């Protein structure tokens, strides 16, 4: 029998606020355990949570950018369960009336086609603390609790079960990741857990309209693992059904080392969270004016910007996609275009030399040592014939190292292109004299030798000879 | 409304409460009476009335995103039944 996988994703997006969602403790990553805590996030009796306004603003932006409607009146709820990383015995979350509902993302399933993936809801909630195992000296049988992360603001973005393959899941996830980092509401660091994903996976016979029983896979913290975990889980369920078994609804943990998922027995207990409205937090009312103001503040989103790069600047789809990979990259590109004008050329340099240099040095575009205006100055030197495209790459490397302007480097190192025909003719004469054999070969009809002469002339001129002048003079001279 | 001792046991387990058989009987009766009262309220016509999530008519209490000093590690761990270094120590929970 053929099976159809059905996948829905729950994505936790850690928000880039300075403080926690319900108290003024810092959210800085990497501090000494439990040093960023107070009575609110420690869950001490009598402490009262107060909502961080920025969290609401970020949530509205996320909602508007994913085509959600913003709920005019939403409330917070307590989700009750016991776990050592949850000091209050409940997590403050949203249950009924989450802040954003009924959105969607159109994902690219191939070159031409878009597929609409529903977003059921986006709600605000607090994170739990962090548990460490096997790190306490002399206490192999104990776990450690660090509550620095407790009360860190999260958005949970819940998709409809509209995804039909691991590839679609990854595309959706990447698109969502791009949006939240583009908005500047999340740093997107998956290794540190700023953007993490649980996958609900089930399978049903092809043609069926009844969804199978799903398993929820936790702990998938990279795009690669999402694909791996979903594929493993799909196959596990199919094998189980083929062998006459039944899938049970359960939480499973992905193990990146083995690429498998396994049941989390401790979380098998009935998921009866007994949600109820949190009396400590008053209802959140969002006016139309507030929504409108947020809409005005939204940056041009990746899709819109791609479209504009194609229609206004004439870029091909591929270039437009690459150059909108991040907002900073797109900004860099546009600043370059403003300073130079040739969008295609600027784009090629960013996708070529700049990207290579960034990757080689592990630098982000935000910290690129060559500013867009400096890149434009370099390209102008090619445009006006001062240097060749090849020399420009040498100059670029020097700009990267020293931070100097292109013009200064060209002058200092005497890299100005030689277009003067008499100087080039002298070089050509010398090379022809030294390679009489090859000259004969060329004249005997072996035209491939032409490339050899070009190479020799460029080498003798230290790359400074104007290539088109070299070609023209060589052709004439070799003809004899 | 009738509450059984099994209902009480279920709720008690979720709340990690250990109850004696006598307490289970006692609470089954008391909780049944409370739920019976709520059952009675269901008879009222509440069409067009917004569900009450909060007793106080207040909305939008915010704080700005400004860091305030934390209380410090020692105070944070002062009530810990067990600690190890900067951590609260708890019986091993590992998946």
- HEC string of chain B equals CCCCHHHHHHHHHHCCCCCCHHHHHHHHHHHHHHHHHHHHHCCCCCCCCCCCCCCCCCCCCEECCCCCCCCCHHHHHCCCCCEECCEEEEECCCC
Domain that holds residue B11: 5-41
Q: Are A272 and A336 within one domain?
A: no
SS3 state at A188: coil
The token pair at A438 is: 């090859």
Direct distance between the N- and C-terminal alpha carbons of chain A, in angstroms, rounded to an integer: 76
Question: Residue A282 is nearest to which of B54, B73, B76, comparing CB atoms?
Answer: B54
The CATH number that applies at residue B36 is: 1.10.20
Taking the C-alpha atoms of residue A234 and residue A382, their distance in angstroms, rounded to an integer, is: 55
- Residue holding tokens 């003719």? A425
Q: Evaluate whether residue A405 is within a structural domain.
A: no
Q: Is residue B88 part of a domain?
A: no
In chain B, residues with a C-beta closer than 8 Å to the C-beta of A282 are: 54, 56, 58-61
Does B10 fall in a domain? yes
Flag whether residue B91 sits within 8 Å of chain A, measured between CB atoms.
yes
Residue contacts between A and B (CB atoms, under 8 Å): 142
The whole-angstrom separation of Cα A326 and Cα A313 is 18
Residue in this structure with the two tokens 């009480």, named with its chain if needed: B8
Same domain, A97 and A143: yes
Identify the sign of the CA torsion B39, B45, B48, B52: negative
Are B70 and A82 in contact (CB < 8 Å)?
A: no
- Return d(Cα A375, Cα A357) in angstroms, integer: 13
Domain with A61, as residue range(s), is 3-290
Question: CB neighbours (10 Å) of residue B2?
Answer: 9
Placement of tokens 């909108």 in the chain: A324
- Residue whose tokens read 């986006």: A122
Closest-approach residue (CA) in chain B for A35? B73
H/E run at residue A295: helix A288-297
Q: What is the DSSP letter of B51?
A: P
Q: Is B91 helix (H, G, I), strand (E, B) or coil?
A: strand
pLDDT (tens digit, 0 to 9) for every residue of chain A, 480 residues total?
A: 899 999 999 999 999 999 999 999 999 988 999 999 999 999 999 999 999 999 999 999 999 999 999 999 999 999 998 889 999 999 999 999 999 999 999 998 877 788 999 999 999 999 999 998 877 666 777 889 999 999 999 999 999 999 999 999 999 999 999 999 999 999 999 988 899 999 999 999 998 888 889 999 987 889 999 999 999 999 999 999 989 888 888 889 898 888 888 887 655 455 789 999 999 999 999 999 999 999 999 999 998 999 999 999 999 989 999 999 889 999 999 999 999 888 899 999 999 999 999 999 988 899 999 999 999 998 888 888 788 888 888 888 889 998 888 888 888 877 777 777 788 888 888 888 888 888 888 888 888 888 888 888 888 888 778 888 888 888 888 876
Tally of domains in chain A: 3
Nearest to A143 among B70, B79, B90 (CB): B90
Q: Provide the sign of the torsion angle of the four alpha carbons A108, A110, A116, A118, taken in this order.
A: negative
The number of distinct structural domains making up chain B is 1
Residue B21 maps to a domain: yes
Tell me: do A98 and A45 sit in the same domain: yes
Structure tokens at A200: 């609900």
Alpha carbon A480 to its chain's center: 59
């Amino acid at each position: 029998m053929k099976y159809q996988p059905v996948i829905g994703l729950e994505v936790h997006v850690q928000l880039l606020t300075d403080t926690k969602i319900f108290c003024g403790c810092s959210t800085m990553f990497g501090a000494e355990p439990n040093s960023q805590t107070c009575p609110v996030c420690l869950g001490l009796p009598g402490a009262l949570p107060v909502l961080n306004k920025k969290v609401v603003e970020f949530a509205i932006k996320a909602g508007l950018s994913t085509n959600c409607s913003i709920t005019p009146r939403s409330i917070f709820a307590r989700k009750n369960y016991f776990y050592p990383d949850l000091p209050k015995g409940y997590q403050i979350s949203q249950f009924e009336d989450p802040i954003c509902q009924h959105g969607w993302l159109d994902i690219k399933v191939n070159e031409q086609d878009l597929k609409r993936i529903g977003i059921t809801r986006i709600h605000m909630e607090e994170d739990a603390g962090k548990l460490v195992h096997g790190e306490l000296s002399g206490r192999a049988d104990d776990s450690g609790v660090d509550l620095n992360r407790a009360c860190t603001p999260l958005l949970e973005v819940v998709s409809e079960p509209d995804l039909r393959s691991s590839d679609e899941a990854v595309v959706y996830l990447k698109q969502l990741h791009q949006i939240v980092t583009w908005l500047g509401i999340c740093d997107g660091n998956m290794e540190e857990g700023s953007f993490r994903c649980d996958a609900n996976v089930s399978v049903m016979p092809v043609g069926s309209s009844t969804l199978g029983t799903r398993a929820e896979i936790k702990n998938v913290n990279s795009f690669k693992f999402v694909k791996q975990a979903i594929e493993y889980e799909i196959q596990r369920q199919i094998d189980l059904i083929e062998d006459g078994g039944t899938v049970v609804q359960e939480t499973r943990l992905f193990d990146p080392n083995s690429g498998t998922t396994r049941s989390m027995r401790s979380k098998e207990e009935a998921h009866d969270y007994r949600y109820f409205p949190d009396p400590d937090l008053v209802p959140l009312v969002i006016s139309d004016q507030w929504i409108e103001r947020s809409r005005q503040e939204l940056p041009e989103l990746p899709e819109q910007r791609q479209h504009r790069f194609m229609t206004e600047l004439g870029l091909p789809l591929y270039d437009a996609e690459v150059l909108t990979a991040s907002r900073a990259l797109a900004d860099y590109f546009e600043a370059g275009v403003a300073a130079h004008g040739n969008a295609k050329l600027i784009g090629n340099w960013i996708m070529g030399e700049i990207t290579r240099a960034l990757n080689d040095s592990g630098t982000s575009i935000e910290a690129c040592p060559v500013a867009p205006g400096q890149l434009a100055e370099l390209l102008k030197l090619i445009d006006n014939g001062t240097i060749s495209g090849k020399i420009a790459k040498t100059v670029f490397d020097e700009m990267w190292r020293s931070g100097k302007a292109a013009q200064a480097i060209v002058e200092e190192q005497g890299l100005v292109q030689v277009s003067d025909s008499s100087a080039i003719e002298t070089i050509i004469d010398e090379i022809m004299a030294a390679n009489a054999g090859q000259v004969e070969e060329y004249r005997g009809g072996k035209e491939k030798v032409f490339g050899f002469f070009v190479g020799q002339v460029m080498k003798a001129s230290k790359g400074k000879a104007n290539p088109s002048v070299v070609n023209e003079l060589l052709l004439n001279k070799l003809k004899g | 409304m009738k509450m059984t001792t099994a209902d009480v046991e279920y709720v008690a387990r979720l709340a990690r409460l250990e109850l004696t058989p006598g307490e289970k009987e006692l609470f089954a009766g008391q909780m049944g009476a409370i739920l019976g009262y709520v059952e009675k309220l269901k008879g009222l016509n509440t069409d067009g009335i917004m569900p009450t999530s909060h007793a106080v008519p207040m909305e939008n209490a915010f704080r700005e995103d400004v860091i305030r000093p934390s209380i410090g590690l020692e105070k944070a761990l002062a009530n810990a039944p067990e600690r190890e270094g900067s951590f609260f120590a708890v019986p091993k929970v590992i998946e």
